[in-house]
Chains A and B, each alone.
Chain A
């Protein structure tokens, strides 16, 4: 694994830090993949910056997913896997969300393709996306109770 200084030398990380030092809470590298942890309130701005900056060009949101680290708090992490076609590069934006207030700002105005993935995270993890145009359950029936991909939800269903 690379030394911490090396990750700081990464161009995208340098640019993000130069743009707003507050917007980068933590940077990690694992198996050649760069993860930038962004504070919740800076998510939308960071997304706009990464997508809009022509030299970065992260115009493509490849995937949006979440993970539950229960009982650690903040328990949820939402991952945005970005891809820049011009730079041929990938980047993972990560936002930590607490279980007591699972709300995030939507990124659908930046990447309209985030619509269904955000609905899916809402459906299976119960994280709400503020400003989402159509936040409904997507794969489960509307009257379903609970959020199946949470770690405190048993595999066999609710008990």
Chain B
């Protein structure tokens, strides 16, 4: 905030324009200070922090289990991805192994979340570039995903459904029927979006050749996710550093080489199809019965039934929810592939029941750094396309 812009050129003909923090195309409260020469961007300086809520500091005063609810609020379009990454990090710290059944449910739900997140991206990106109807269709399908999440976890968005050691609840009877219905419906719907956009000349004009960035720049800036893959590098954490049994699933990592907004659009659409593929496999893999939480007395809450009948279970239950549990001193760094790129959690323990430090490696934060590279030398209208194509969530950028 309070950025002072030093004009690079120092010429009288350039003017400085504030885009945001209140601007519909900045997807939240991002401010971009633009130095303009006519309609051409000479210099762009993103200014963030308007949504800083000190989540990392708050985590230090919560127990490990309580902090899960804060992770939902980071990337609010893919809350389950954050839950997953944080839980994996703490499980690594504790050395816990999660039952396969819970792992597959986690995979299924995070892939649903990925589709949901990509739908919001596609809808808002399209509306930014003037295609209103796509937005309405995307939100129609996203609603179905939110209904499934509500059915499973009781919450539409801030699910906190993944817990340390497994899942919060046994998934309700019949949930897979709903997922099946969604999976059957979705391919035709994705085709609908493609019919509206892929061959659309206006869409081509607004996205082809816009927001290009080279693979070298991506690596240097630490950019990951669809932006990196649009530059030809098939880096996906699910393949490179598999977690939660992703190595047992068959799916492709689509790449393009054009590295423009259009390539990233095609990639995300293809990623939705790949996610559907993973969901279909996960539905077959999930056993009908089995534990959803690992057995770890004093760390993972016991089953309700046991708590009512066994003294030890009741004591553990009470202790977990009052004072929490204390992992051994140490530090871990866990990454996953969130819809936006490589999401990382660094969790350090000093042997007390509260984390000493939780650091979120937010993909949006790192990817947003590449915005000036994408827009400098181009028109203002392209800034809108570029902000959209990076797919930022300000909750995650500012934390």
Instruction: List the interface of chain A (C-beta within 8 A of B).
Output: 30-31, 33, 35, 59-63, 65, 67-69, 79, 81, 85, 88, 90, 92, 111-117, 124, 136-143, 148-149, 155
Choose among B60, B61, B369 the residue that contacts A115 (Cβ–Cβ < 8 A). Answer: B369
CB–CB A33/B332 < 8 A: yes
**B348 CB–A CB distance under 8 Å:** yes
Q: How far is the CA of A112 from the CA of B54 in the complex (A)?
A: 25
CB–CB A88/B241 < 8 A: yes
CB–CB A30/B222 < 8 A: no
Chain A residues, CB < 8 A from B57: 148-149, 155
**Which residue from chain A places its CB closest to the CB of B53 in the assembled complex?**
A139
Q: How far is the CA of A135 from the CA of B128 in the complex (A)?
A: 33
Minimal beta-carbon separation of A115 from chain B (angstroms):
6
CB–CB A90/B356 < 8 A: no
Minimal beta-carbon separation of B72 from chain A (angstroms):
20
- Given contacts A116-B365, A155-B60, whether A85 and B2 have CB atoms under 8 Å apart is no
Minimal beta-carbon separation of A140 from chain B (angstroms):
6
Q: How far is the CA of A148 from the CA of B60 in the complex (A)?
A: 12
Which chain B residues numbered 32 to 91 have a C-beta less than 8 Å away from chain A? Answer: 48-49, 52, 54, 56-58, 60-61
Chain B residues, CB < 8 A from A59: 219-220
- Given contacts A113-B223, A155-B57, A155-B60, whether A62 and B240 have CB atoms under 8 Å apart is no
Minimal beta-carbon separation of A116 from chain B (angstroms):
5
> Which of A92, A138, A141, A155 is most buried by chain B, counting CB atoms within 10 A of its CB?
A138
Q: How far is the CA of A140 from the CA of B48 in the complex (A)?
A: 9
Chain A residues, CB < 8 A from B161: none
Chain A residues, CB < 8 A from B346: 63, 65, 79, 81
Minimal beta-carbon separation of B371 from chain A (angstroms):
11
Chain B residues, CB < 8 A from A117: 366
